[in-house]
Amino acid sequence: MISEINLGTPCDMHVHLREGQMCDLVTPTVRDGGISVAYVMPNLQPPVTTIDRVVDYKKRIQELAPNTTFLMSFYLSKDLTPELIHEAAREKAIRGVKCYPAGVTTNSAAGVDPNDFTAFYPVFKAMEEENLVLNIHGERPSVNDGETGDDIHVLNAEESFLPALRRLHTDFPRLKIILEHCTTEAAIKAVEDINKDVEDPRDIRVAATITAHHLYLTIDDWAGNPINFCKPVAKLPRDKRALIGAAVSGKPYFFFGSDSAPHPLESKSKHKGVCAGVFSQSLAIPYIAQIFEQQDALDKLKDFVSTFPLQFYELPQHELRSQDEVIVYRKPQVIPETITDGKGLQIAPFKAGEKVNWSVKWVAK
């Protein structure tokens, strides 16, 4: 029985750190959860679309977590120009650009129309030239079309987006694209299909991140449990099985991005207008280790959380803020009902009150 694993420098390639009091509370939990490298989402209010803001934001979170390596991103909107992309790349201010379809999740109102990306093609061309990553929230907004029956709703929003993903890859074959927090068997199959002829991992251009919570949840788990409500919503049992299969597959285009998305407890405990998001940052690696253990695939864990994301993002070890390594080891712990800063802010972590079998510790390399 495996009792511990050295995971090297694990990455969480999709984190929400927010601002203000929430940022102060959650940013240090990146390291608590066993994560060395975090890709930081730009959906603040207003969205992060300038070099100054990204530099300021990085400075703030770096102060809160000096040993964590933060990769920063812009929010795709009409404020971005090819010139700005080139400048931001030259200054190494960002590693990628996040694309939100308008209206599908928290702070996405400034996002784009997923039915027509062509307005952004000059930006994508600049990103392709600079080897920046396009991080896509791959959902189409809901439509109730009684005429044609061509409805979009939270269950098929991701699958309906996949043709747009393929079109983007066709139009920008060298652009690195990530389908973020994918949730469906259809998405897994699409990303596998796009990569079917790729032999060298360095040639991967379309990857997908998978969260911790989508490896646990199905629709039954968020029906009546707002703590588990997130966008994209967790889907059906066969989708969950496909995600688990992809995570443990050893395929280098599937890797970890938690989409940890904290909200104050009172924003999750409402009868109307619950905020979408699951907070999984503080126990990111233990949640994942538990699934890999259940699948008898602990030997694949380091690939999923360290090797593959570092490879896709081409992040050399010497650029990390710390060379400390993470050991995940068998030590059960009860997940607290809430995490608080002692100043009135409370977050309910994923699986609050339940048990995980694993803990993490840091060791010098």
Contacts with its own copies by CB under 8 A lie at 142, 144-146, 149, 151, 153-155, 218-220, 222-227, 229, 233, 236-238, 241, 265, 268-276, 348, 352
Closest CB to its own copies among 242 and 360? 242
Q: Least separation, in Å, of the C-beta of 315 and its own copies?
A: 35
Helices first, then strands: H and E counts in the chain? 13, 14
> In this complex, which beta carbon is closest to its own copies, that of residue 271 or of residue 343?
271
Q: Taking the complex as a whole, how short is the minimal distance between the CB of residue 353 and its own copies, in angstroms?
A: 8
What minimum distance in Å lies between the beta carbon of 162 and its own copies? 19
Between 229 and 358, CB nearer to its own copies: 229
What's the CA dihedral at 114, 205, 120, 165 to 10 degrees?
-20
Kindly tell me which of 71 and 275 has the beta carbon lying closer to its own copies.
Answer: 275
* Closer to its own copies by Cβ: residue 62 or 267: 267
Q: Is 177 helix (H, G, I), strand (E, B) or coil?
A: strand
Query: Would you state the torsion angle of the CA atoms of residues 176, 96, 261, 240, taken in this order, to the nearest 10 degrees?
Result: 0
Give the ranges where the chain is alpha helix by DSSP (H): 20-26, 29-32, 51-64, 82-90, 121-130, 162-171, 185-194, 219-222, 237-247, 265-268, 284-294, 301-302, 308-312
Task: Provide, rounded to whole angstroms, the least separation between the CB of residue 228 and its own copies.
Answer: 8
- 54, 74 in Cβ contact below 8 A? yes
State the minimum distance, in angstroms, from the CB of residue 45 to its own copies: 19
Q: Of 9 and 106, which has the nearer Cβ to its own copies?
A: 106
For residues 146 and 342, which CB has a smaller minimum distance to its own copies in the complex? 146
Residue 363's beta-bridge partner residues?
A: 325
Least distance from its own copies to the Cβ atom of residue 10, Å: 27
**Strand stretches in the chain, DSSP E:** 4-6, 11-15, 37-40, 69-71, 73-75, 96-99, 133-136, 176-179, 206-210, 254-256, 325-334, 339-340, 346-347, 355-363
Structure token pair of residue 128: 């392709």
Instruction: State the minimum distance, in angstroms, from the CB of residue 181 to its own copies.
Output: 16
User: Smallest gap, in angstroms, from Cβ of residue 174 to its own copies?
Assistant: 37
Helix (H, G, I), strand (E, B) or coil at 14: strand
Pair 180, 231: CB distance under 8 Å? no
Q: Which residues contact 235 (CB under 8 A, 6 or more apart)?
A: 155, 183, 184, 218, 219
**In the complex with its own copies, which residue's Cβ is closer, 195 or 228?**
228
